[in-house]
Amino acid sequence: MTPTVAELLLGNFVAFSNPPPPEAMGDFMTSRIGIVGMISMLAAQEADRGAAARIWENGAIRAMLARGGGYGPFAEVQDGEATIEALDAVNADLRRALIALHEAVEAAKDDDLDREILDLYVKMAQARRLDLPPFPAS
Amino acid sequence: MSLTEQLEAYLTRTTGLPTKVVAMARIPGGASRETYRFDADVGGTIKPLILRRDPVGSLIDTDRRLEFLAFRSFHGRGLPVPEAIALEEEGAELERPFFIMGRIDGGKAGSPFSAPPYGDHARAIGEQFFGHLGAIAAADPLTLPISEAAEAPALDACWKRELDYWSGVIEADELHPQPIVRAAIRRLRANPPPPAQKLSVVHGDYRTGNFLHDGEGRVIALLDWEMAHLGDPLEDLGWAMDPLWCYGETERVCGMVPRAQAIALWEKASGLKVDLKAFAWWELFASVKGQAIWTSSAKEFRDGGLKDPVLGFSGWYTARRQDIILADRLSQGMALLEAQA
């Protein structure tokens, strides 16, 4: 997925690597520091849950592709290293296959499998959710 | 030469009076353009102003002339819209395109990522927020300055033009396959809405966070018209009510008023009716458009050297929230959308 946590955290560094112009101090800099803080906090969640979420999603998509095998064939893609980068590379291939499957299911008006895929989307989105605490209103 | 000095040179040349720029400060938000507040001392007269300058990279690629003309279309017409003062599409002394507009002081914008910000004034704010949007929808766009630059689509082509544009953005900028939004795009194409009731000015980004309120229940400025265009008035209503802008609340839209009341307020002010089937299309479209913007943000963050954390945050956290909204809508809302097919 993009941007990656590595890119985001590098970005947090880059954001402050040069002195800002005078007009960017004050409210703008306060806001920027807040966003960098939020990214750091959410990156901790991603570090904790990210690999597990991807392993689950890759498995769930594989199961769906097997379920819809009649619309295939879909190339078998196995997880390699359990790093987020490696899992994302596999995930990209699996997601492309899932898109192809869903298009075929829609064309065939297979409402039952369509419903299963839509339910899978809900689970996929939830598995990747990031939780911000309710910041007080300004 | 600093930005302040560049601006002083520009204002001195264009006003013909010696001009000093004081209290120049960049404003957070307004991610599609760099936004600054400043006071211009023009020959001894102090003018409170806002500068909107094109950035090097941005959340969205928009036409500053359209934005300028949108401000000009609604300033002085009973809506709290700042005055558009000067537009420089070639950048002049500031090197990048910009425009200058009047500043409305004394207000604050509620971040969509905070707790609901309106407190006891939520209902009053909601009445104005949806009433003002209805007034925008009611206006005849062909009589307004924005018609000088905005294309006027046929009533039955509004949906397709928008869907083609935003699905094209996803096609061009996607860095990782997105099955959820692609499914939504296919559903929208397969189940088009009825023609627009009328052609309206569409603000394009009318939502919490893009207006100022005075903390006492009054909306004092409608801002961020950078995505303004002509189209189906339901587009703005669907965008405004996207759950992304609703603070996680389910009882009130935008943290303001119940959904039915919001629609009634809009209908009263616009003189139009909300066809619920058509609106279901525009609500799903709103989430597709959102995901297109966050997709572009992720690409711009990477292409721009990871310098702007707003782009990174939008392309990551906001994109994931939008995926949850899209998946829920696809799962729960398809019966209504498909019933019109």
Q: Write down the pLDDT at residue B336.
A: 58
- Check whether residue B160 and residue B70 sit in a common domain: no
Decide which of B46, B73, B102 is a domain's last residue.
B102
**In B18-63, where does DSSP find H-type helix?**
none
Q: Write down the pLDDT at residue B341.
A: 43
> What is the residue-averaged pLDDT of chain A?
91
B90 in any annotated domain: yes
Reply yes or no on whether the pLDDT at B141 is more than 80.
Answer: yes
- Check whether residue B238 and residue B291 sit in a common domain: yes
Cα separation values, B14 from B10, B42, B90, B95, Å: 6, 11, 15, 16
| Rounded mean pLDDT, B48-67 | 79
Taking a contact as any Cβ pair under 8 Å apart, which residues of chain A between 35 and 74 contact chain B? 35-36, 38-39, 42
Contacts 24+ apart (CB under 8 A), A92-97: A92/B176, A92/B177, A94/A57, A94/A58, A94/A61, A94/A62, A94/A65, A95/A61, A95/B176, A95/B177, A95/B178, A95/B179, A96/B177, A97/A61, A97/A65
Reply yes or no on whether the pLDDT at B58 is more than 60.
Answer: no
- Check whether residue B79 and residue B128 sit in a common domain: no
Reply yes or no on whether the pLDDT at B129 is more than 80.
Answer: yes
Domain count of the fold of chain B:
2
Reply yes or no on whether the pLDDT at B337 is more than 80.
Answer: no
* Contact state of B307 with A137 under an 8 Å Cβ cutoff: no
* Contact state of A31 with B179 under an 8 Å Cβ cutoff: no
Reply yes or no on whether the pLDDT at B335 is more than 60.
Answer: no
* B170-220 pLDDT tens trace: 999 999 999 999 999 999 999 999 999 999 999 999 999 999 999 999 999
B94 in any annotated domain: yes
Decide which of B74, B102, B130 is a domain's last residue.
B102
Decide which of B102, B131, B161 is a domain's last residue.
B102
Q: Write down the pLDDT at residue A75.
A: 78
Reply yes or no on whether the pLDDT at A84 is more than 80.
Answer: yes
Domain count of the fold of chain A:
1
Phi and psi at residue B26, to the nearest 5°: -75, 140
B109 in any annotated domain: no
> What is the residue-averaged pLDDT of chain B?
92
Find which of B175, B317, B325 to mutate to test the A interface (most A CBs within 10 Å of its CB): B317
A118 in any annotated domain: yes
Reply yes or no on whether the pLDDT at A49 is more than 60.
Answer: yes
A134 in any annotated domain: no
Show residues of chain A in contact with B321, CB under 8 Å: 129-130
Tokens found for residue B151: 């294309």
* B89-120 pLDDT tens trace: 889 999 999 999 999 998 988 877 778 889 89
A30 in any annotated domain: yes
d(CA B259, nearest CA chain A) in Å: 22
* Contact state of B114 with A22 under an 8 Å Cβ cutoff: no
Strands (E), B205-311: 211-213, 219-222, 229-231
Question: Which residue of B182, B248, B310 is in closest CB contact with A99?
Answer: B182
Q: Write down the pLDDT at residue B340.
A: 47
- Check whether residue B271 and residue B131 sit in a common domain: yes
Reply yes or no on whether the pLDDT at B20 is more than 80.
Answer: yes
Whether A31 has its CB under 8 Å from any CB of chain B: the answer is: yes
Domain coverage including residue B53: 3-102
Whether A122 has its CB under 8 Å from any CB of chain B: the answer is: yes
Reply yes or no on whether the pLDDT at B79 is more than 70.
Answer: yes
* Contact state of B317 with A42 under an 8 Å Cβ cutoff: yes
| Angle B167-B169-B175 from CA coordinates, rounded to 5° | 105
**In B100-157, where does DSSP find H-type helix?**
122-138
Reply yes or no on whether the pLDDT at B168 is more than 50.
Answer: yes
| Rounded mean pLDDT, B46-60 | 80
What is the residue type of B338? E
- Check whether residue B142 and residue B189 sit in a common domain: yes
Whether B317 has its CB under 8 Å from any CB of chain A: the answer is: yes
Phi and psi at residue A68, to the nearest 5°: -100, 30
A132 in any annotated domain: no
Q: Which residues are registered as beta bridge partners of B257?
A: B253
Query: What CATH number should be reported for the domain holding residue B322?
Result: 3.90.1200.10
Show residues of chain B in contact with A9, CB under 8 Å: none
Tokens found for residue B202: 């569409």
Q: Write down the pLDDT at residue B31.
A: 64
- Check whether residue B57 and residue B143 sit in a common domain: no
* Contact state of B309 with A26 under an 8 Å Cβ cutoff: no
What is the C-alpha to C-alpha distance for residues B94 and B10, in angstroms, rounded to an integer? 8
Question: How crowded is residue B332: how many other Cβ atoms within 10 Å of its Cβ?
Answer: 11
Query: What CATH number should be reported for the domain holding residue B18?
Result: 3.30.200.20
Domain coverage including residue A121: 5-127
SS3 for A39-90 is HHHHHHHHHHHHHHHHHHHHHHHHHHHHHCHHHCCCCCCCCCCCCHHHHHHH
A137 in any annotated domain: no
A75 in any annotated domain: yes
A133 in any annotated domain: no
* B206-254 pLDDT tens trace: 999 999 999 999 999 999 999 999 999 999 999 999 999 998 888 999 9
Phi and psi at residue B191, to the nearest 5°: -135, 65
- Check whether residue B73 and residue B124 sit in a common domain: no
Answer yes or no: are the C-beta atoms of A78 and A58 closer than 8 Å.
no
Reply yes or no on whether the pLDDT at B11 is more than 90.
Answer: yes
Q: Write down the pLDDT at residue B339.
A: 54
Closest C-alpha among B132, B136, B138 to residue B220? B132
| Percent of chain A whose predicted confidence (pLDDT) is above 90 | 68
Show residues of chain A in contact with B51, CB under 8 Å: none
| Percent of chain B whose predicted confidence (pLDDT) is above 70 | 95
- Please count the residues of chain B: 341
- Check whether residue B123 and residue B73 sit in a common domain: no
- Confidence category of residue B30, pLDDT binned at 50, 70, 90: low
* Contact state of A128 with B328 under an 8 Å Cβ cutoff: no
Q: Write down the pLDDT at residue A137.
A: 67
Question: Which residue of B24, B190, B301 is in closest CB contact with A11?
Answer: B301
